[in-house]
Structure 1
Amino acid sequence: MTREEKSIAIEDLTAKLAGVNVIYLADTSGLDADSTSNLRRACFKAGIKLEVVKNTLLEKAMEASESDFGDLSSVLKGNTSVMIAETANGPAKIIKEFRKKSDKPVLKGAYINQEIYIGDNLLDSLVSIKSKEEVIAEIIGLLQSPAQRVISALQNQKGKEEAAE
């Protein structure tokens, strides 16, 4: 790869990292072609962009980025795949699902809403992170519950009054 090609690749990676709140780094080495294809398919269905990158290029893109990736660059050793997603727990769920059949992919680290997570031992914690939509749905459910009780009580009272007449 020429210096110019590297520069273009770094610019492309920097652009991909810009404005993204959910980035997972995983080791997918050792997966056979069929498993890799299945992983890519699962990521595509979940709206996750999966790309194998060169560590040095990714490190330079992280340095050039406006986001603070902290110590995340310390995990850039060996094979590295970048998973970019909208939902915080999406990549973690896919990794966990794949680990039922194989010991790969291994979570190296993640950048989620300006927080840094390093190590495969955090996979279960990342799976349990709720997405923005899930939190909003819970809040709406909590807000609706008292209102539904009041409406139900009023309807029951109205039914009792009509029956008494």
Structure 2
Amino acid sequence: MPKVVSNLWFAEEAREAVAFYVSIIPNSKIDRTTILPAETPSGPPGSVELIEFTLGDQAFLAMKAGPLDSFNHSFSIAILVENQAEIDRIWGAFLANGGAPEACGWLRDRWGLSWQIVPRILSEMIADSDRERAKRVTEVMLGMVKIDVAALEKAFNG
């Protein structure tokens, strides 16, 4: 059965980025690091590094291979958490490591990769069959930077 792995291309500091990611997301690890021994379009032997890693239960591959395209909002990694304490912990770790807050639970890490730090309950609230409740939650969420679970619950419950 095929395995799907998201590939993240870093110009530099792939090893530092991956070490940071696995340090803040529970059940994460670096699985293998490989230095390519042959010349590549990115440079001489040894200039390309591949880092296979797992965040939670999702497989990723980080590649340090020199400049190419920058990360942008068309790709982000969502971290679904259980409570406000986890949002606060992970959000704070990203900001303390040079990240920048954006809107609606999004932030960018210091390498430019976009992340969404959101409670699992949010998707259930937005998908609720009572569309008025779902609308209230959505409107409140759209006005947030870091997600505030209590404010979402208040909007949801009217």
Common fold: TM-score over 0.5 = no
Structure with the largest fraction of strand: 2
Q: Structure 2 length as normaliser, TM-score?
A: 0.30
The one of the two structures with greater contact order (alpha-carbon pairs below 8 A, sep at least 6) is 1
Q: Structure 1 length as normaliser, TM-score?
A: 0.29
Structure with the largest fraction of helix: 1
